[in-house]
Chain A
Amino acid sequence: MQITLSVENLTKKFGDFTAVRDVSFQVEDGKFFSILGPSGCGKTTLLRNIAGFYEPSAGSIKIRGEEMTGVEPNKRPVNLVFQHLALFPMMNVHENIAFGLRRRGLAGKEVDQKVNNMLERVGLPGFGKKKIDQISGGQKQRIAIARCLVLDPSVLLLDEPLGALDAKLREHMKVELKKLQVEVGTTFVYITHDQSEAMVMSDHVAVMNSGQFEQLDTPQNLYHSPKSSFVAQFVGNNNKLAVKVHKKEGGEFYARYIDGRDYLLEGAYDLDQGDEYDMFLRPEAVVINPPAEDKKFNVMNCTVKAVLFDGGNSRLLLIPETTSEELIVALPQTKQYDYLKHGDVIKIGWNPATAVCFRKVDVKIYDDV
């Protein structure tokens, strides 16, 4: 596969503050690549470096093998879909899409033809004459993307373009965007703080935190085998259990939770720097009333604190025995668990392979949590 975008050791400093620290990655031709991170992690800065609005403090950006340092944004073969789309309000849809073509010196029939083709491609044929304030949020979205795609860029950069849409439309646009990307085959680099957007659409996702990539992987790997505590917390939902890890004679590692029980872990741990760990347990990986006597299965006794009904997204709020902590467990809507109510004592269990454990670190995912 040909490499379209290659970023090497990119660093961007604003005064004393380092927004992006030594980031390297490559994106193959035609892939959908996402950069996922909380606000303020430097992902927008990284994107603006690629688009050319910032000059990197160190490192290099190559597009199709060509060095981009010092090249103005208007000369780069990349286009950016802005967070608030930045459609030109004084022009109609046709003029918006034609803007970039005209800047390339195209005129007349050629422009009209390309614009109309593009409008058809994004599913808005005949919208050319409409004014920007006459079309809906989702349509604006598609026009903003069409305006860039019509220039046939090597890389299309998208800066959280779905952020301004309401939840239902966002769900819809996620799928639309992925379909569009597959159809046009352009390389997309998408930044977002919404892990679901990143997972649904991307071939590869880089999880970014305080200016660095924590992990660059496929969505599946990010979900199933996060490489750091931050990724485990940021990608998908996770219960975080403070545990002490110790090794038993058999060579197996166990995590002791504050309920006084030991839970089997998978893999090996280096206990030289202390045994304080965080164990992460996905709500959907936990089984309620696990089949008895599977030795490998970890079993925990809990009290039901509340049933949080939310359709297919329903959960149980549990309190592990003898503790005051809370656990969230997925509640399958198969009628099987309808009898559960506040105060019930139940057993839950999980396969050790589904839990991950990382050395305790203080990471803030959101400012308010």
Chain B
Amino acid sequence: MMMSKLRTIRWSFFVFFIPVFLWLFLLIVLPQLELLRMSFLGTDYYGESGVTFDNYWAFFSEPIYWLTFVRTALFSILVTLIVLLIALPVAFYITKVASFKITGFLMVIILVPFWVSELIRVYGWMILLRESGVLNHFLTSVGILKVPVEMLYNDITMIMGLVYTTMLFMIVPLIGVMESLDDALIEAAHDLGAKKLTIWRTIIIPYSMPGIMSGSIIVFMLVLGSYLTPNLMGGKNSLWFTEQIYNQMIIYFNWNQGAAFGFMLLLLSSVIIWLALKLTKQDWRSVIK
């Protein structure tokens, strides 16, 4: 009796597990392993291919590569912080201040832009901001600007674009965690003598930390690995590391070099997230929950 029950459990477990396993293994693990193998391959001066660390060495020896790398990392952190600073009050307003009726409406307003693909949204921004765009047309016709200014293709526009495209992924986990925050905690802090800013610092932010960290990780990963927005809004000046990978693989057909860069990016994001979790003393399990 026991045995047959155990067997049915095992049987059903495999039925459900195999598709997941196949998907994970064939589409994610296997290609990654192949890329990892490729990143250690190269051809020497005589055209002989063999195992080498040259691809990784190139990363450190060419300043343009690792400078782009550092720049990408720093900008990603900056974008994550800006997104966080905007999302915290927004999430707080939606969960704690706005009345129940408005909450749903606000959520829809935040969600609707994400029904449209990132490409369309970025093109939307480009129509607004380019030299012959809507904003320039408006400013010159009003008389604030004498000649149209190119507002695209600089770091500020690019950061703005990245903040815009990733905002939702910060707001949703923050709303999730703030909804469980008992209003009485805020009132209790107020009652015990805390001012507004102190309540944020001592109660709301520490309480929301799991949401802040999971939101930050998602936003950071998305920004670090984003290609469209930096490329379209930052233009040739954007120097985003994903562009280097793209260039290596598609333009120079150097898949080995591209694979090595790809793994450097993976390593970088893992290290930064690990550091962030350590610094904020957050438990990995409570964050992914």
| A and B form one complex | yes
Which residues of A does B touch, CB under 8 Å?
51-53, 72-75, 79-80, 82-84, 86-91, 99-100, 103-104, 147-148, 151
- Cβ proximity bits B63-98 to A, threshold 8 Å, 1 near / 0 not: 000000000000000000000000000000000000
Neighbour of A90 across the interface among B190, B194, B195, B206, CB < 8 A:
B206
Chain A to chain B: the 7 pairs with minimum beta-carbon distance, closest first? A103-B193, A100-B192, A86-B184, A86-B188, A90-B206, A82-B184, A74-B193
User: How far does the alpha carbon of A103 sit from the alpha carbon of B194 in the complex, in Å?
Assistant: 6
Given contacts A75-B193, A82-B184, 16 further A-B contacts (CB under 8 A): A73-B190, A74-B191, A74-B195, A79-B192, A80-B187, A80-B191, A84-B182, A86-B185, A86-B187, A88-B202, A89-B185, A89-B207, A99-B192, A103-B198, A151-B192, A151-B193
Which residues of B does A touch, CB under 8 Å?
182, 184-185, 187-195, 198, 202-203, 206-207, 209
Neighbour of B192 across the interface among A52, A72, A103, CB < 8 A:
A103
Given the interface pairs A88-B203, A89-B207, A99-B202, the reply to whether A104 lies near B193 with Cβ below 8 Å is yes
Neighbour of A79 across the interface among B182, B191, B194, CB < 8 A:
B191
User: How far does the alpha carbon of A51 sit from the alpha carbon of B191 in the complex, in Å?
Assistant: 7
Residues of chain B within 8 A of A84, CB atoms compared: 182, 184
Which residue of A has the minimal Cβ distance to B196? A74
Residues of chain B within 8 A of A87, CB atoms compared: 188
User: What is the minimal beta-carbon distance from A115 to any residue of chain B, in angstroms?
Assistant: 13
Residues of chain A within 8 A of B202, CB atoms compared: 88, 99
User: How far does the alpha carbon of A86 sit from the alpha carbon of B191 in the complex, in Å?
Assistant: 11
Residues of chain A within 8 A of B184, CB atoms compared: 82-84, 86
Which residue of A has the minimal Cβ distance to B203? A88
Which residue of B has the minimal Cβ distance to A84? B184
Given the interface pairs A73-B187, A86-B185, the reply to whether A100 lies near B193 with Cβ below 8 Å is yes
User: What is the minimal beta-carbon distance from B135 to any residue of chain A, in angstroms?
Assistant: 43
Residues of chain B within 8 A of A75, CB atoms compared: 193
Which residue of A has the minimal Cβ distance to B181? A89
User: How far does the alpha carbon of A56 sit from the alpha carbon of B170 in the complex, in Å?
Assistant: 39
Residues of chain A within 8 A of B188, CB atoms compared: 80, 82, 86-88
Residues of chain A within 8 A of B189, CB atoms compared: 88, 99
Q: Are B193 and A88 in contact (CB under 8 A)?
A: no
Interface-centre pick from B189, B191, B193 (highest chain A CB count, 10 A): B191
User: How far does the alpha carbon of A151 sit from the alpha carbon of B191 in the complex, in Å?
Assistant: 11
User: What is the minimal beta-carbon distance from B88 to any residue of chain A, in angstroms?
Assistant: 16
Residues of chain B within 8 A of A79, CB atoms compared: 191-192
User: How far does the alpha carbon of A1 sit from the alpha carbon of B187 in the complex, in Å?
Assistant: 32
User: How far does the alpha carbon of A103 sit from the alpha carbon of B193 in the complex, in Å?
Assistant: 6
User: How far does the alpha carbon of A87 sit from the alpha carbon of B195 in the complex, in Å?
Assistant: 18
Q: Are A53 and B187 in contact (CB under 8 A)?
A: yes
User: How far does the alpha carbon of A75 sit from the alpha carbon of B194 in the complex, in Å?
Assistant: 9
Neighbour of A74 across the interface among B194, B203, B209, CB < 8 A:
B194
User: How far does the alpha carbon of A148 sit from the alpha carbon of B187 in the complex, in Å?
Assistant: 13
User: How far does the alpha carbon of A91 sit from the alpha carbon of B188 in the complex, in Å?
Assistant: 14
Residues of chain B within 8 A of A151, CB atoms compared: 192-193
User: How far does the alpha carbon of A251 sit from the alpha carbon of B191 in the complex, in Å?
Assistant: 58
Neighbour of B182 across the interface among A80, A86, A100, CB < 8 A:
A86
Which residue of B has the minimal Cβ distance to A83? B184
User: How far does the alpha carbon of A32 sit from the alpha carbon of B98 in the complex, in Å?
Assistant: 38
Which residue of A has the minimal Cβ distance to B199? A74
User: What is the minimal beta-carbon distance from A32 to any residue of chain B, in angstroms?
Assistant: 20
Q: Are A74 and B192 in contact (CB under 8 A)?
A: yes
Q: Are A82 and B193 in contact (CB under 8 A)?
A: no
User: How far does the alpha carbon of A91 sit from the alpha carbon of B184 in the complex, in Å?
Assistant: 15
User: What is the minimal beta-carbon distance from B201 to any residue of chain A, in angstroms?
Assistant: 11
User: How far does the alpha carbon of A99 sit from the alpha carbon of B207 in the complex, in Å?
Assistant: 15
Q: Are B187 and A147 in contact (CB under 8 A)?
A: no
Supply 8 A–B pairs (Cβ within 8 Å), ascending by A: A73-B191, A74-B191, A80-B191, A84-B182, A84-B184, A88-B185, A91-B206, A100-B192
User: How far does the alpha carbon of A74 sit from the alpha carbon of B190 in the complex, in Å?
Assistant: 5
Residues of chain A within 8 A of B207, CB atoms compared: 89-90
Neighbour of A148 across the interface among B190, B192, B194, B209, CB < 8 A:
B192
Which residue of B has the minimal Cβ distance to A99? B192
Interface-centre pick from B192, B198, B203, B207 (highest chain A CB count, 10 A): B192
User: How far does the alpha carbon of A87 sit from the alpha carbon of B189 in the complex, in Å?
Assistant: 9
